[in-house]
Structure 1
């Protein structure tokens, strides 16, 4: 079956030997040149360092994500980091159960009930720590802390410090993206999983006692609901069953709003007149965020699908059982959809992007994440409307699986 057509010749007729030289270091520092060439020459291609086929255009990513001929699979490094059954890599009844477990608290009508009361005090608390200083590094002092604190409190981890939550997601991130494979299909750097393992041990040491309590004394925290909701009276889901999804949340769900905010700010700083528009008119913040998520997608290339039947995609014949990494960050720079996609532009005609994925494995927390980012930026611009990027410091983005600025130095007149 052919699920998408491309006008170009089949990739097997092209010389793709240049892909042999692609390294993980190159992808982590700046994946865009490699993926720009992939979109042009081979929208679906096998990338040796990843040990997997990669989809790089919006058409191919969306068609695979929504095709009945593919189902979810976790990348090898992701599986090594999260274990089974992680919500992003399962299908059928298990996926349906895990989605039914996490989705109720993330429905718009439910989020609207508590999101302001949750996030605004958190944002105000972090702003009060530096708003009189005249300078800050916003990734570490604001964007990431607001993101992890909001989700941590929602999960029931109110007694875990924001610094500890940030440390966990950074360690899980580096483990999850330790994806380089050798010529034998083995992990090239198995030692790279050690810090992720250490983070998981710390998580369990803190969360296990909480689970013990929630089993007998349920409360309104998300993890307590995960244990109890939909279960027969007197029974709870097994903790080993939900831990992989806890790890998914402590990485992907915690980093996404923070890095989405930070990338949006970097984009706005690149267009000072657009920054001024947004500060003067906060109703533009959701539009600014949408463009920031397209411009630098926080979940850049962290999800995958596997073919369930022989299928032809973009001129490439894939046997059943072939994994494909969906590079949504590349798809969001597809020149077939976006004019000058490498530029941040608040006034870009609104088009659907793939920052939150597609198909039945699209992010369950889209509404929650967008509102965390919206409230965070509203509070920031209200408190410090004269925010400027400190041009004495550069802005470096990092990451291939998950991507965002590592630092963002700013100044303002006090």
Structure 2
């Protein structure tokens, strides 16, 4: 795909050497250069244009010249109609289906009673041990258990939910494309397909039950709400959005909690202030989500007509990947963006997206992260990172620490 640029277009041939492995290990170097040289650029390994600055991401996300589209790997993983990749009446119906349980007044009704006992239960399993790997033992389990119970998957073990989102994650971000527009690694979708088969084997009987015996679980509401009496939405219609939830919505709070902790560990004075004053936790969470955005580069838009963005002429039908994790490190927007700083002026960030496809669960996710950190730091105020183990982050579409080893005096 070729765009018409003016004579000032920089030489971007270096992008030919960028690999998916580069992006998954550490996308920041590539995107820092993109922000400086070409805020909107075609990245061959992704087979798509990429928006890398705050200004361009926000422009594309909110422009009437663009509508939502799912990335090729995302579409291969979730199927259609996934809520993140549809428009018009279908998008309105799916948003109307999921949003009631995520409205602030509704979240306020249930979130404390849902999340706090879950956090306490996981803490009790290790708080007297003096050490823990918090990603696997706390951050991810609290996230998946809270949402799993909200969805109605109370009998699905947390480790199974974690396994599902990990497999769907790797499938969704298996984004490398060949020059001919084919998937470079088609085998990379196999484990995602297996996860979906496992999900359907568990959820199908629940749907059978909810069709005739609706309850207060979210998926039961998805089936029934807004439908004529005696009718429900087809399971094939809601499954792609179930997969969206089991990946993006399950991993986002867990990785947000972990990234916030890593940021605080790197700024001991800020950690001490947060421990002493839990009212600072929401500010720390907001900075953690900006610093390492869990949904780093997983959403896209497609132009509905010829349009010029950042000096690049795009024909109608051109997809653009929105790299929100890069936008949240934009030097033109944030001073010293690589530093974790809870005293940063409260500028809006893009960790939850923008426009009419911004994340529907912003309020819910922020409260899950807040409660989890409140419980953790109250129970273990002397929590420290185990410096004998490095912290490694992974992911380009979705990003977070793979492990977080911690110690404390009991």
2:223 corresponds in structure 1 to 227
Counterparts of 1:16-35 in structure 2, within 5 Å, are: 16-35=12-31
| CA displacement at 1:10 relative to structure 2 | 4.8
Within 5 Å, give how 1:9-408 maps onto structure 2: 10=6, 13-408=9-404
**Aligned counterparts of 2:297 and 2:7: Cα–Cα separation in 1:** 21
3-state SS in 1 of match to 2:302: strand
CA distance in 1, matches of 2:181, 2:110: 47
CA deviations over 1:360-414 (Å, ceiling 9, x no partner)? 0000000000000000000000100000000000000000000000000000000
RMSD: 0.8
Tell me how far apart the structure 2 counterparts of residues 339 and 110 of structure 1 sit (CA, whole Å): 36
Distance in 2 (CA, whole Å) between partners of 1:327 and 1:413 is 40
| Superposition deviation, residue 125 in structure 1 | 0.3
- Matches of 2:88 and 2:379, distance apart in 1: 47
How far 1:183 sits from its partner (Å)? 1.1
Partner of 1:3: none
Instruction: For residue 191 of structure 1, report the CA deviation from its aligned partner.
Output: 0.1
- The 2-side partners of 1:13 and 1:113 are apart by 53
CA offset at residue 67 of structure 1? 0.3
Q: Assess, with a 3 A threshold, how the Cα gap between structure 1 residues 225 and 92 changes in structure 2: closer, same or farther.
A: same
Deviation (angstroms), 1:318:
0.1
TM-score calculated relative to the size of structure 1: 0.97
SS of 1:13's equivalent in the other structure is coil
Q: Give the unaligned 5+ runs of structure 1.
A: 1-8
CA contact (8 A) 1:12 1:316 kept: no
- What secondary structure does 1:98 align onto? helix
* Contact 1:11/1:315, CA 8 A, preserved across alignment: no
Unaligned runs of 5+ in 2: none
Post-superposition CA distance 1:296-329 (Å, at most 9, x none)? 0000000000000000000000000000000000
SS at match of 2:342: coil
> 1:397, 1:13 → 2: CA distance?
33
Q: CA separation in 2, counterparts of 1:107 and 1:136?
A: 34
CA deviations 1:271-303 (Å, max 9, x no partner) are 000000000000000000000000000000000
Q: Distance in 2 between matches of 1:11 and 1:165?
A: 51
8 Å contact from structure 1 (residues 310, 318) kept in 2: yes
| TM-score, normalised by the number of residues in structure 2 | 0.98
Find the residue that maps to 1:53 and give its secondary structure. Answer: strand
Indicate conservation of the 8 Å contact 1:11/1:44, yes or no.
Answer: no
- Separation in 2 of the partners of 1:257 and 1:12? 42
* 1:30, distance to aligned residue in structure 2 (A): 0.1
Aligned residues: 406
CA distance 1:202–1:337, shift in 2 (3 Å): same
| Equivalent pair of 1:294/1:355 in contact (CA under 8 Å) | yes
User: Structure 1 residue 14: deviation in Å?
Assistant: 1.5
Cα distance, 1:13 vs. partner?
Answer: 2.2
Structure-2 change in CA distance of 1:10 and 1:105 (3 Å): farther
Distance 1:23 1:214, change over 3 A: same
